[in-house]
Each structure stands twice: as structure tokens, then as C-alpha cells.
Structure 1
Amino acid sequence: MRSFLPSLGVAGALTACLVSGSALAYATGQTGHSGKDSSLTCASSMCHSTTGTKPTVTLEGPASLEPGQTGTYALVITGGPGVRGGFNVATDGSATLTAGSGSKKVSGELTHTQPKAFTSGTVRFDFTLVAPSTGATLTLFGAGNSTNGNNEDTGDASNTATLKVKVGDGGGDGGGEDDGGGCAAAGGVPLLGAALLLLGARLRRRDA
């Protein structure tokens, strides 16, 4: 019994350290929680609680790009506990993301290198996206975490956002335009037939 009770005390202390340090575990960023997989977000990562006031998260940048063009984007976190913020951005398709200041790229996704302090209730993470070489419609996925800076998993909150980016023709096969041309061409056949019938009728009248 004597050896058992101290063991419980050690285990309890270790658990407390893990819990209190969970917010610090990913202070240098985490990927895989952008919301691209709806079951994996900052709220589900277990390193921050969801008890704080939710911030507003937006993705800013052009909604259309030409193939191969580079666009400048930003994930913006507004409100919430509003002391420090972190983020994770991912995209589907073959677009290439490039990290901006205070950010890094890990496994094709972007995240912060260190939590960034809010200024006037807002924190911003800039990045760029290079569009693929062919037409496509991409989706940017972003998660933003607004923390109270107490280095614990209490009182923080996060939110997610998405942004559709059309590249070139959006990946369409031009079927709509082909259909329009087909209708116009088909419409010309009856007109030609009517003209021939009218000419034939005139010729018959002359012969009569």
C-alpha cells in the first residue's frame, strides 16, 4: 500500500503536467486540422478547449486565378479570447501553398511557427497560392485559433473557413458552349430547307 500511494501521486502529477502543458505542445504549429477533414479541427485536437468565445475566421484573396498564376491570400482571425492566435491552412487539388512571415509549410499545409499576438482584436497570417497549370476549382480550408495566452488548454476557442478559387475555366469541358453552337447549327437546317422549298415553288410557277 505504501508503494502504491506514492505511485498514484506521481501519476497524478504527470497527468497534471500533460494537461497543463497541452496548449504548449503545439505552440509551434500543427497541421491536419484545417477543417479539410471535417472531423479534424483545432477544437478536436485536444490541445485547446472550446470554452472561450468563438472568433470569426475568414480567408481573404482572389476568388479566381489564371493557370499557373500566383495569388496572395491571408487567414484572418478576429475576436475570441484575442491574445495570441495560430492557424492551419490546406487546399485540395494540385495547387501549391507557400508560407508567409511567421508561418511554415509542413506536409503541403501551412501553420504558424509561433503564436502571433493580436493587434486591435485581429491577427493575420499571409500566404500565397500558385494555381495549377490547368483549369480547376479549388477549395482553401483554414482553421484559426484565438487563445487567452495562459499556456493552458482553458478558455481558448477556434473556428474554420473555406474559400473557393476558380482557376481558368474551372475545370469544365466547355460542354455548355458546344451545346449552344450545336443548337445554332441545328437551327440553320430548317431555315435552309424552307428556302429551298420556296425556290422550288417559284420554279414550278414559272414552268406552269
Structure 2
Amino acid sequence: MKKKLLSKQAFFLYYLVIMVSVSVVAYSLSTGITGRTKKGSNPGCMCHGSQLSAGVSVTISGPDSIATGDTANFSLTISGGPLVVGGTNIASWSGDLNIADATLRKQNGELTHVAPLSPVSGTVTFNFKYTAPANPGSDTIYATSLSSDNTGSTTGDQWNFAENKVINVYSSTGIINNGTTVESYSLMQNFPNPFNPVTKISFSIPESGVTKLIVRDSAGRIIATLVNEELSAGLYDYILDGSNLSSGIYFYTLSSGDVNITKKMVLTK
């Protein structure tokens, strides 16, 4: 009788362990999870192994620069590892993430998969939307993704972080007066350079006067007059959107007072 009782207890414990394990696997694989990117305090897919795998590649693709309040399309691609199915968790520091289709869901301000996806041509891709914050500056998109063998056990699964996607969030108003006192005329190198399609040109003028900022192509033709007005002394930023320009080398010139300064920039699409 005692032996039978012990046998029943052992069976019950075994059954409980199995059900808990299945529940953990089902939760982590089937419905996704948030809080596992480098933004969070517990990064990584720890239920699928404590160490990341360099054999799994996770790439976030999308614009490098976005105007304040604008929305852009992004994609996340997983390759490598066992990759019978793949899942992900995506977060941003200050921008707003939203789903682009039914493969992702939003939870706690982050995105995770509704169900793991099977690869197409060796990769798993999730599409999503990102809306830039209201204030200019830098923002970051983070992601952690899983490459699973889909056996129902986590022992063969692998995961990795994406390289953080840094986004330049720029003002859509064109020229910005930084309100800084300056002592000389200067024209800074645009940033980023090369750029696609947005870059920032900074310049300073020590006294008020008619100021021009023009862009020429490699043949010397004026293709854009960015500034042509009376400006007070100070440090200025101009946000140039080159969406309507072709890839190539361009020259931008600051003219104010008796000063003319020219620098080169490269648009790469």
C-alpha cells in the first residue's frame, strides 16, 4: 500500500514538472514575451539558454533619420541557428512602436510575436511601424530574437540581440536657432555624412545680416537655396531632406557678411 502511494506521488510530481515545462515552452514560443531587449532590466531569452548565440543574426532595417512625429516602416530579420521557427521582442527608448500586420502584437509598449513564424528563403521577417517622438534628438530601437528548432524543448534553441538601431529624430521646421552666442563665422561638416536621405548642416554667424546657405551639385549648378534671409547672430542648424535628390557629391556654401565657406557632402541611397 505504501509502495503504491509513493508511486502515485512520484507520478503526480513528474506530471506537474512536465506540465510546467510545457507551459513555459508554450508561453515563450507561442505567444511571445516582452522586456527581453537591451532596453529592459532582464535582457535575453534566458528560458532558451543563458548565453546568446553569435550564429543567430538579428537585423533591424529602416530609415536612419525621421522627422519629429512622423511614422516610418521598419523590418526585423532573423537568420542562422536552427530556425525552424523564429520569434522576437522589439522595444524603443522613446518612440512609439505599432504593428504593421497580424504577425506581431503590442504589450507594455513593446512588440512581440503573436505566434512564431516559419522562415522564407532561410529568414524570418517581422514588419512594424515606428513613430518618432515630438522632440528632436536621438532615439534607439532594440530587439532580441529567437531561432528555434520547434521540437517542444528549449535545449536546441538559440537567440541573439540585434545591433541597436539609432535614429536621428530631426525637426521638420528646416532651420533651428540654438540661441548660442558665437564669436566667428563657421560652417560645420554635415552630419551624418554620407547621409540618406536626411542630414544636419550647422553654421554660426557672429553678427546679424543677410545669410545664404545654398547647395550645388558636382557640376556647380545651384540645386537648392536652403537659407536666404536676415538672421540674427547665433548658432544655427538646418535639416536637409535629400529625398528628391539623386545619389552623388554635393557642395554647400554659407555666405554671410564678407565670408563664403564651402564644404562637401555625399548622398548615398
SS, match of residue 31 in structure 2: coil
- Partner Cα distance (2:6, 2:177) in 1: 74
SS, match of residue 12 in structure 2: helix
Corresponding residue number in structure 2 for 1:34: 37
Relative to structure 1, is the Cα distance of residues 174 and 30 closer, same or farther in structure 2, using a 3 angstrom cutoff? Answer: farther
Flag structure 2 segments of 5+ consecutive residues without an equivalent.
186-205, 208-269
Corresponding residue number in structure 2 for 1:96: 96
By relative contact order (CA 8 Å, sep 6+), the higher-ranking structure is: 1
Alignment of 1:118 onto 2:119: yes
Give how far 1:25 is off.
1.9
Corresponding residue number in structure 1 for 2:145: 144
What TM-score do you get using the length of structure 2 for normalisation? 0.60
Aligned residue identity for 2:35: G
What TM-score do you get using the length of structure 1 for normalisation? 0.76
- Greater fraction of residues in helix: 1
Give how far 1:71 is off.
1.3
Aligned residue identity for 1:81: P
Relative to structure 1, is the Cα distance of residues 146 and 174 closer, same or farther in structure 2, using a 3 angstrom cutoff? Answer: farther
- Greater fraction of residues in strand: 2
Corresponding residue number in structure 2 for 1:164: 166
- Partner Cα distance (1:50, 1:41) in 2: 8
Aligned residue identity for 1:98: N
Flag structure 1 segments of 5+ consecutive residues without an equivalent.
187-208
Corresponding residue number in structure 2 for 1:9: 11
Corresponding residue number in structure 2 for 1:153: 154
- Partner Cα distance (2:154, 2:24) in 1: 6
Size of the aligned set, in residue pairs, is: 177
Give how far 1:64 is off.
0.8
SS, match of residue 183 in structure 2: helix
- Partner Cα distance (1:100, 1:29) in 2: 17
SS, match of residue 114 in structure 1: coil
Give how far 1:103 is off.
0.6
Corresponding residue number in structure 2 for 1:105: 106
The correspondence of residues 180-195 of structure 1 with structure 2, limited to 5 A, is: 181-184=182-185, 185=206
